Amino acid sequence: MRTKAIASAAIMTAVALSLSACGSSADSASGNQAAAAAAIDKCTPAESSIKMTYAPQGTPAVEHAKKVMEQKFPGLKIDAVASQSSNYSDLTKQIVADSAVGKRPDLIMTGLGQLRFWTDTFNPAPIDPATLPEGYQKQFLAAGKAGDQSYLAPFQISTPVMLVNKKLLAEAGITDPASIKDFGQLVEAAKKVTEKTGKPSVNIASDDLPDWFSQALVQSSGEKFVADDGSFGFDTAKGREAMDLISTLAKEKLALNVKMDDGEAQFVAGNLAFQMATTSRIARVVKNAPADLDWTPIDLPGLNGPEGALPAGGNGWVVISEDPCKAAFSQAMITEMLTKDASLLSSGKDYSYIPVNRLATDELLKGDNIAPQMRYAWTYDKPLTAWGGFAGAQTAPIIDTLRTMLQQMGTGKSADDAVPAAAKTINALLGK
Amino acid sequence: MTTPVVKERPSLEQGVPGEGPAPRKPRAPKPSLTPYLLLLPALVGMLLFIYGPALLSFIGSFFVIPLSKGPWKFAGLDNYRSVLSDPLIQQAAWNTLVYATATIIPSMVLGLLLALLMERLGRGSWLAKTALILPMTANMVAMAVVFKWIFALQGGLANQTLAVVGLAPVNWLGDAETSLPAVILVGLWRATSLCTLLFMAGLTTIPGSIHEATAVEGIRGFAKLRTVTLPMLKPTVVFVAVLSITGAAQVFEIVNVMTKGGPLGSSETIMTATQRVGFEYFRVGEASAMSFTLIAILLAVGIIGRRRSPKEAS
Amino acid sequence: MIRLYKPLGLVLGAVAVILSLFPFYWMLRTAVAPADGNALTGLSLIPAELDLSNFARAWDHANLGSAMLNGITVTLGILLLQLLTCIPAAYALARFRFRGAGVLLGLVLACLLIPSQATLIPTFVGLNLLGLGDTRIGLVLPFVTSAIGIFMLRQQMLSIPDAIMEAARTDGLGPLRTLVSVVVPMSAPSIAAFSMLSIFTHWNDYLWPLLVARSPEIMTPPLTLAIFQNADTGFDYPALSAAAAIVTAPVIILFLLAQRHFVRGMAGPEVAG
């Protein structure tokens, strides 16, 4: 028996070592190397296929573009299945796990804040701006750059926004919501509403987009999210003072502190005065809100009034194909998803993203009876910065750290404690 | 093992070959391949999918491992160092300990009480028995979805009930103070059911003759429980404890569906943390170190439990 | 004293039964609530109207048709393999004396202590290297044998009287024939109980499919349910509850049908008395 035990242990060790050996024989980056696109006229559609993974908000435009592509390239197979979650972290997780089991997609949607993850770990193919269709607003390409190179074609763009219940404010004696420009005014207004209603009046959710919301609050206060050397940028007097908004709201019992969806439901029900949101959600609020709900989006306030540009939110397309022809067809697919018609589907009435195609915006604004809130979402034309900016391999733990920071301040912890703690953790993750 | 009555009972460890006096006549010791061949498929399965992976997680815990293709890089003890110093993982370990303590002991006590009660009720109680076992058969993802709805901030039954009494709604799953207790309640609901089932099964192995004997001697109530029933149930108790401990150590579905470990890591457990490190942060080596540490702890608990068990010592 | 315990016990029992059943009731109650979003303002304990459309919506959105089929295939596949590996192993450990038997039994018992979930990561990495990620085989393979199954079946087989085994031998039955025609029939209660335990476990398994099943075509019910509840269905608790009820139903029905055998089988060898 002893020999048997030894033999089996030896076999297990051999298996283990051969597994690790077979790993190390591959050259270093090959696991995640994407291919540059081939010239598309050298590729035969009938012999190629592309697999794409995306979040459900892309579905209408994807289906439209798929039809166009199948006409243009007869025989090309496009395997397009939407994931169920619209959360960009979940989407990244799914694509990496798919790749691990050998089902790596060729074309992926990713949140703009996840771009650096892909460029740092998957070496995607660059996007050629010359292939983008007529009307495409090239200024958005800045949100898809890593270094000087474009790797992502922005598809659905949004911006942080504050949704305000005008009726609750009026009852508290505030008639012009747009006059709320700085955090002090926001807190004062919230206090007045809360005094009147006896309920918390502001919700800044930490569940869904903590990195983006933090960045927005920091940048609208005129501070840097990422320092020039790539380290944590807002552990400064101004940065802490800006972030202390969350802590102040919590201490004054003005913060609702619930998930984005829960806050939105409260807002729609008329119970919540201020909900920090993204312009892409405006369409949903318009759809779900009762006709008598009097509400408006306002520009996100800043510490001393809006100072800096907000981070662009939303998503775009990245090509991570390992095959040159699939990469070429993926590029062509991207083009079809950014045309006027596609843009109307991706950023129109169901999803209030800022259309990336100017022709689509023109078309949308021609319509009658446009809700003013929708107009705000479609025509937002202030400058936007890229989302994120920390080195990419640590994207997920960085987002979790920022969520922790927001949640700590949500329980009343001072920004003077929470922000340096987050800075320390994130700089350690980045090796700074 | 104080009365002769008890000694006659069939034991869980009865007839372990090579341990103690054989309960029956040994078979002719004709060397034969047959038992080995019979065991072979199961052994191969266990080596490939239990012991092999356990060993691999030990080996892998010293490497930086890419999730898909690519080389393994030797990292020495780095994975263990970063796992042990990570406050998230420390909190997860602590939460798992709290969860285990708060579910295992009450569920075993309640399970035993309910099983005794059902035994007392006799044959007429099959409906109640069925009801009590039902939670352990249910799909935990489905039930976690239901409990998430019960604890929902808006419209959730828990808050509706509070409103009836005139209390303000509680953000059960969104508040660091209440998220773990909510998860524990669900775990307790499940674990009590499993314990009840196993104790009911254990009680049926006590021969009727023993009940008659104790009745004749006038032993009943607590005295019977203490001197007869509990000692006879000892193997069952050990078995239930082992299952409860491994069950609690790997609680995942409830947390993953209800809270995702949040907020502020307040309901993170070892398994959700391992998943996060392995499949969200893509640090497979660190996740292996966590898995192996868990395996080592559970094996140690099992071995100590076996040593301590008086049955085994005899 | 005793008199006081009895009503106390009955109250405890009644409370326990209600608490055990209530979540199931609430699941069904929510599943028949109108899907107009009013669930968010709270539901009455007893429904005033029944809306069965939630089930159809849940079936479509959570992709339950194919998931249920996959669940059945995978669960039964695992059960079949486990019976094929566990029954002979239990037989060997219960009815044969051979060198190393103690060690091998120890190996089986130690497996009870190694949580299957703790070995998932290396299993996942290894399976992918073999190209079995995202396949039904990959969903089944790691559960090819079960330590708890071997343990349960061995307990039952130990209790088969020697005389019966002896008789089989004098009838000239070889070990395999004895296994098939004597040991298996006599172990039926434990085999049935273990089969149910295995079905419950693997129908309900979530973590392994979560890693391995990437394509919607091979996803199992708990997985599609979890994805459905993660998706942007907003607050469609009626549809979520309906999906939960559909996913829970098969094992509950199986349990209700075979409930008596289950408890008895879990008890292991029957003791006369």
The whole-number pLDDT of residue C38 equals 66
Q: How far is A278 from chain C (nearest CA, A)?
A: 15
Helices (H), B151-283: 157-165, 179-204, 208-216, 221-224, 230-249, 253-258, 270-279
**Nearest residue in C to B290, CA atom:** C118
Q: How far apart are CA C124 and CA B66, in angstroms?
A: 12
**Nearest residue in B to C28, CA atom:** B146
Is the separation of the CB atoms in B64 and B75 below 8 Å? yes
Q: How far is B13 from chain A (nearest CA, A)?
A: 22
* DSSP sequence for C174-227: -HHHHIIIIIHHHTHHHHHHHHHHHHHHHHS--HHHHHH--SGGG--HHHHHHH
Within 10 angstroms of residue A166's Cβ, the number of other Cβ atoms is 16
Q: How far is A84 from chain C (nearest CA, A)?
A: 5
Q: Please report, for residues A99, B285, C219, C222, C239, the alpha-carbon distance to residue A83 in angstroms, rounded to integers and kept in the order given.
A: 15, 28, 13, 16, 19
Is the separation of the CB atoms in B171 and A258 below 8 Å? yes
Residue with tokens 């032993």: B219
The residues facing A367 across adjacent strands are: none
**How many B-C residue pairs are in contact by the CB < 8 A criterion?**
322
Query: Is there a contact between B47 and A12 if contact means CB atoms under 8 Å apart?
Result: yes
Query: Is there a contact between B70 and A408 if contact means CB atoms under 8 Å apart?
Result: no
- Which of B56, B175, B280, B288 would best serve as a mutation to test chain A binding (most A beta carbons within 10 A)? B280
A99-113, A200-214, C259-273: segment of lowest average pLDDT: C259-273
Q: Is C131 on the interface with B (CB under 8 A)?
A: no
Chains in contact with chain B (at least 3 beta-carbon pairs closer than 8 A): A, C
- Which of C214, C218, C228 would best serve as a mutation to test chain A binding (most A beta carbons within 10 A)? C214
Helix H or strand E segment including A318: strand A313-319
What are the tens digits of pLDDT across the range A84-114? 777 899 899 989 988 888 889 999 999 999 9
User: Which tokens belong to A156?
Assistant: 């659905």
The whole-number pLDDT of residue A311 equals 95
Task: Of B175, B181, B190, give the one whose Cα is nearest residue B95.
Answer: B181
Is the separation of the CB atoms in C59 and C65 below 8 Å? yes
- Residue A18, pLDDT above cutoff 60: no
- Are β-strands A274-278 and A160-165 bridged in parallel, bridged antiparallel, or unpaired? antiparallel
Helix (H, G, I), strand (E, B) or coil at A173: coil
Higher pLDDT, C236 or C243: C243
This model's pTM is above 0.80? yes
Q: How far is B187 from chain A (nearest CA, A)?
A: 24
Q: How far is A360 from chain B (nearest CA, A)?
A: 37
Helix (H, G, I), strand (E, B) or coil at C98: coil
- Residue A42, pLDDT above cutoff 90: no
Q: How far apart are CA B244 and CA C115, in angstroms?
A: 11
What are the tens digits of pLDDT across the range C7-62? 888 888 899 999 999 999 999 999 998 876 666 677 788 887 888 888 998 898 88
Instruction: State the DSSP code for A54.
Output: E
Within 10 angstroms of residue A330's Cβ, the number of other Cβ atoms is 26
Helix H or strand E segment including B90: helix B87-121
- Residue A356, pLDDT above cutoff 70: yes
Q: Is A89 on the interface with B (CB under 8 A)?
A: yes
**Nearest residue in A to C129, CA atom:** A19
Chains in contact with chain C (at least 3 beta-carbon pairs closer than 8 A): A, B
User: Which tokens belong to A371?
Assistant: 């809700």
Write down the mean pLDDT value for chain C. Answer: 87
What are the backbone angles phi and psi of residue A2, rounded to the nearest 5°? Answer: -60, -45
**Order of strands, edge to edge, in the sheet holding A49-54?**
A77-82, A49-54, A107-111, A313-319, A153-158
Is the separation of the CB atoms in B175 and B189 below 8 Å? no
The whole-number pLDDT of residue C154 equals 92
The whole-number pLDDT of residue A12 equals 42
| First-residue to last-residue Cα distance in chain B | 11
Confidence band for A288, pLDDT divided at 50, 70 and 90:
confident
Based on its alpha-carbon atoms, the radius of gyration of chain A, rounded to whole angstroms, reads 24
Percent of chain A with pLDDT over 90: 67
Dihedral, C179, C182, C183, C189 alpha carbons, nearest 10: 140
Q: How far apart are CA C104 and CA A1, in angstroms?
A: 9
For residue A85, which residues of chain C lie inside 8 Å, CB to CB? Answer: 227, 230-232
**Nearest residue in B to A90, CA atom:** B280
What are the tens digits of pLDDT across the range B162-199? 988 988 888 899 888 999 999 999 999 999 999 999 99
What are the tens digits of pLDDT across the range A158-181? 999 999 999 999 999 999 999 999
Q: How far apart are CA C189 and CA C268, in angstroms?
A: 8
What are the tens digits of pLDDT across the range B269-310? 999 999 999 988 989 899 999 999 998 998 888 888 777 654
Task: Of A89, A161, A108, A153, give the one whose Cα is nearest residue A126.
Answer: A153
Q: How far is B89 from chain C (nearest CA, A)?
A: 15
The whole-number pLDDT of residue B206 equals 82
Query: Is there a contact between C227 and A4 if contact means CB atoms under 8 Å apart?
Result: no
Task: Of C238, C209, C197, give the one whose Cα is nearest residue C73.
Answer: C209
**How many A-C residue pairs are in contact by the CB < 8 A criterion?**
49
C7: Cβ contacts below 8 Å, ≥ 6 apart: none
What are the tens digits of pLDDT across the range B87-119? 889 999 999 999 999 999 999 999 999 999 888
Closest partner CB to A102 (pick from C133, C234, C235):
C133
Within 10 angstroms of residue C220's Cβ, the number of other Cβ atoms is 30
**Please, what's the b/e burial string for B231-264 (b: 16 or more CB within 10 A of its CB; e: otherwise)?**
bbbbbbbbbbbbbbbbbbbbbbbbbbbbbbbbbb
Chain C positions with Cβ closer than 8 Å to A: 40, 99-100, 103, 124-126, 128-129, 131, 133-134, 211-212, 214-216, 227-228, 230-232, 234-235
- Residue A63, pLDDT above cutoff 50: yes
For residue C206, which residues of chain B lie inside 8 Å, CB to CB? Answer: 140-141, 252-253, 256
- Residue A131 identity: T
Q: How far is A98 from chain C (nearest CA, A)?
A: 6
In chain C, which among 221-250 make CB contacts under 8 A with chain B?
221-222, 225-226, 229, 235, 237, 240-241, 243-245, 247-248
Residue with tokens 């296994």: C179
The whole-number pLDDT of residue A4 equals 45
As to burial, measured by CB atoms within 10 angstroms (0-12 exposed, 13-18 middle, 19+ buried), residue B225 is middle
Query: How many H-runs (helices) and E-runs (strands) does chain B carry?
Result: 16, 2
Query: Is there a contact between A84 and C212 if contact means CB atoms under 8 Å apart?
Result: no
A233-237, B268-272, C114-118: segment of lowest average pLDDT: C114-118
Helix (H, G, I), strand (E, B) or coil at A202: strand
What value does the mean pLDDT take over residues A150-154? Answer: 94
- Residue A9, pLDDT above cutoff 70: no
The whole-number pLDDT of residue B24 equals 47
Q: How far is C212 from chain A (nearest CA, A)?
A: 7
Is the separation of the CB atoms in A359 and A283 below 8 Å? no
- Residue C111, pLDDT above cutoff 80: yes
Confidence band for A293, pLDDT divided at 50, 70 and 90:
very high
User: Which tokens belong to C243?
Assistant: 């999906």
Q: How many residues does chain A have?
A: 432
Closest partner CB to A22 (pick from C129, C214, C232):
C129
Query: Is there a contact between C103 and A85 if contact means CB atoms under 8 Å apart?
Result: no
User: Which tokens belong to A213?
Assistant: 């919301």
- Residue B64 identity: V
- Residue C212, pLDDT above cutoff 60: yes
The whole-number pLDDT of residue C235 equals 66
Query: Is there a contact between A84 and C126 if contact means CB atoms under 8 Å apart?
Result: no
Evaluate the omega torsion of the peptide bond into residue B23 and state whether it is cis, within 30 degrees of 0: no
Task: Of A410, B13, A412, A409, give the one whose Cα is nearest residue A420.
Answer: A409
Confidence band for A225, pLDDT divided at 50, 70 and 90:
very high
Is the separation of the CB atoms in A313 and A377 below 8 Å? no
Percent of chain B with pLDDT over 90: 45
Q: Is B12 on the interface with A (CB under 8 A)?
A: no
Q: Is C262 on the interface with B (CB under 8 A)?
A: yes
Q: How far apart are CA B299 and CA A153, in angstroms?
A: 52
For residue A8, which residues of chain B lie inside 8 Å, CB to CB? Answer: 47
Confidence band for B5, pLDDT divided at 50, 70 and 90:
very low
Q: How far is A259 from chain C (nearest CA, A)?
A: 12
Q: How far apart are CA C30 and CA C243, in angstroms?
A: 11
Q: How far apart are CA A393 and CA A398, in angstroms?
A: 10
Q: Is A87 on the interface with B (CB under 8 A)?
A: no
Q: How far apart are CA A50 and CA A106, in angstroms?
A: 6
For residue C128, which residues of chain A lie inside 8 Å, CB to CB? Answer: 100-102
For residue C126, which residues of chain A lie inside 8 Å, CB to CB? Answer: 19
Q: How far apart are CA C21 and CA C7, in angstroms?
A: 21
* DSSP sequence for A67-132: HHHHHHSTT-EEEEEE-S---HHHHHHHHHHHHHTT---SEEEEEGGGHHHHHHHT-PBPP-GGGS
C139: Cβ contacts below 8 Å, ≥ 6 apart: C74, C208, C209, C212, C213, C218, C220
Q: Is C163 on the interface with B (CB under 8 A)?
A: no
Is the separation of the CB atoms in C23 and B147 below 8 Å? yes
For residue A258, which residues of chain B lie inside 8 Å, CB to CB? Answer: 153, 171, 174
Confidence band for C1, pLDDT divided at 50, 70 and 90:
very low
Query: Is there a contact between A20 and B59 if contact means CB atoms under 8 Å apart?
Result: yes
Checking phi first, is residue A81 left (phi over 0); if not, alpha (psi -120 to 50) or beta? beta
The whole-number pLDDT of residue A301 equals 95
Please state at what angle helix A415-430 crosses helix A395-410, rounded to 10 degrees: 170
- Residue A350, pLDDT above cutoff 70: yes
Q: Is A62 on the interface with B (CB under 8 A)?
A: no
**Nearest residue in C to A4, CA atom:** C100
The whole-number pLDDT of residue C245 equals 95
For residue A103, which residues of chain C lie inside 8 Å, CB to CB? Answer: 133-134, 214-215
Confidence band for C263, pLDDT divided at 50, 70 and 90:
confident
For residue B207, which residues of chain C lie inside 8 Å, CB to CB? Answer: 271-273
Write down the mean pLDDT value for chain B. Answer: 83
Q: How far apart are CA C22 and CA B134, in angstroms?
A: 11
- Residue C63, pLDDT above cutoff 90: no
The whole-number pLDDT of residue C4 equals 60
**Nearest residue in A to C99, CA atom:** A1
For residue A267, which residues of chain B lie inside 8 Å, CB to CB? Answer: none
Q: How far is B17 from chain C (nearest CA, A)?
A: 6
The whole-number pLDDT of residue C215 equals 85
For residue B69, which residues of chain A lie inside 8 Å, CB to CB? Answer: 23, 26, 30-32
Whether the predicted interface score ipTM is above 0.95? no
A162: Cβ contacts below 8 Å, ≥ 6 apart: A180, A186, A274, A275, A276, A277, A297, A298, A299, A300, A301
For residue C216, which residues of chain A lie inside 8 Å, CB to CB? Answer: 81
Closest partner CB to B68 (pick from A16, A31, A257):
A31
- Residue A203, pLDDT above cutoff 70: yes
- Residue C270, pLDDT above cutoff 70: no
Write down the mean pLDDT value for chain A. Answer: 88
- Residue A360, pLDDT above cutoff 60: yes
Task: Of B187, A45, B50, give the one whose Cα is nearest residue C143.
Answer: B50
- Residue A358, pLDDT above cutoff 70: yes
User: Which tokens belong to B263?
Assistant: 């907020």
